[in-house]
Amino acid sequence: MNGKPALDWVVERQCIKTDKDSGIVSDANDWAVETMKNPRYPLELVQRVITVSLETVKIVNGLPAIFGIDA
More confident residue, 46 or 65: 46
pTM of the model: 0.75
Distance set, CA 50 to CA 5, 31, 64 (Å): 11, 21, 24
Helix axes 41-62, 6-14, angle to 10 degrees: 170
Q: Which region among 8-12, 37-41, 47-51, 67-71 has the lowest average model confidence (pLDDT)? A: 67-71
pLDDT of residue 66 exceeding 80: no
Domain segments of the chain: what residues? 27-62
